[in-house]
Amino acid sequence: MKAYDIVKKARDIQRLSTIEIINALCSDFMELHGDRRMTDDQAVVGGVGLIEDQDPITIIGIQKGRNTEENIRRNFGSSGPAGYRKAERLMKQAEKFQRPVLTLINTAGADAAPDSEEYGIGEAIASMLITMSELTVPTLAIILGEGGSGGAIALALSDQVWMLENSIYSILSPEGFASILWKDSSLAAEAADIMKLTATELKELTVIDRVIAEGEKGKTFSNEELAERLIPEIKTAFEELEKQDSKDRVANRYERFRKF
């Protein structure tokens, strides 16, 4: 498959989403709202859940809308500073109550708008990176669709980073890349070919740890099937991470990103 075909799949708004994974993973979940500064950014969904009625987990994800109305409410999955500040608040709580943190990423990038600039989108992402680098609880990030730029890594400074087979993770969109390098955004497909943004390429570069198959024997899984396969993997990963001493986990994570 050409890289740009994967880009198109990654952008499909019917793909497996944060909310579907939350519902499949948690027996009970409560969404928590607000950045305690100015608003509640609904591009980011976050809260606390229980796995099998007993193990608490913090889950934070970016949610794209499935239709126009929902997309407007969720700002097409592009969070502004308030979304990252909400995420940061929930991560600090997870640390306080020693809950693991699962982040789910599907964003073309952080919100590019005057308001977001004025309220410090850069600072909000920067602060998230510091917070994530200081967490001592187990952390796992999964890129579900688009992993666009700073808006994605803000939620992906984790012990492990996984990608769904047809998701992408890049410094910016192929359109943006083409327009900066070749001053022509219509060359996005060519850009995608050389950007190394697919899961397989990124696994080779050890930017990510695992690629999650989205189908087998030529058949693509439905969202329900994919979630069903993903859930036990997530549980096992957290069990493995919890076995490590928190100091080792933090040191490993430091090395994980140090090597680049």
Partner 1 sequence: MALFRKKKKYVEINPRRADELRERRAQIPDGLAERCPKCQAIIFQNSIESDYLCPKCNYHLQFPALKRIEWLVDEGSFREWDSNLTARDPLNFPGYQEKLDRSQSSTELKEAVVTGQAEIEHLPFALGVMDSRFVMASMGTVVGEKLTRLFEQATEKKLPVVLYIASGGARMQEGILSLMQMAKISQAISKHSQAGLFYCTVLTHPTTGGVTASFAMQGDITLAEPEATIGFAGKRVIEQTIGSDLPEDFQTAESVLKNGFIDHIVPRKKQTQVLRFLLTAHRTPAESAGV
- The residues near 204 (Cβ < 8 Å, ≥ 6 apart) are none
DSSP state of 186: G
Q: Is 70 in the site for partner 1 (CB under 8 A)?
A: no
Among positions 112-131, residues that touch partner 1 (CB under 8 A) are none
Residue type, 168: I
- As a whole number of angstroms, the distance between CA 208 and CA 200 comes to 9
249 neighbors 138 (Cβ within 8 angstroms): yes
Q: How far is the CB of 29 from partner 1 (least distance, A)?
A: 9
- Residue showing tokens 């969202």: 223
Q: CB 49 → partner 1: shortest distance, Å?
A: 8
Confirm or reject binding of residue 12 to partner 1 (CB under 8 A).
Answer: no
Report if residue 247 touches partner 1, rule: CB under 8 A.
no
Find out whether 100 and 132 touch, Cβ atoms under 8 Å: no
CB of 140 to partner 1, least distance (A): 19
Nearer to partner 1, 56 or 120 (CB): 56
Question: If you ran DSSP here, which 8-state letter would residue 208 be given?
Answer: S
**Nearer to partner 1 among residue 15 and residue 86 (C-beta):** 86
- Residues facing 163 on adjacent strands: 143, 211
- Closest contact distance (angstroms) between CB of 105 and partner 1 is 22
Q: Which of 4, 8, 13, 93 binds partner 1 (CB under 8 A)?
A: 93
| # chain residues binding partner 1, by CB under 8 A | 24
Cβ-based nearer residue to partner 1, 97 or 254: 97
With respect to partner 1, which residue has the nearer C-beta, 32 or 231?
32
Cβ 169 to partner 1 shortest distance, Å: 29
| Selected binder of partner 1 within 23, 98, 220, 252 (CB under 8 A) | 98
Interaction with partner 1 in 173-212: which residues (CB under 8 A)? none
- For the chain, the C-alpha Rg in angstroms (whole number) is 17
DSSP string, 103-120: EEEEESSS--SHHHHHTT
Query: Please, which residue, 30 or 205, has the CB nearer to partner 1?
Result: 30
* Interaction residues for partner 1, span 21-60 (CB under 8 A): 28, 30-40, 48-50, 54, 56
Q: What angle do CA 37, 84, 8 make, to 5 degrees?
A: 140
Q: In the numeric block, which tokens belong to residue 27?
A: 């027996």
| Cα dihedral 72, 155, 152, 24 sign | negative
- The site for partner 1 (CB under 8 A) is made up of 28, 30-40, 48-50, 54, 56, 82, 86, 93, 96-99
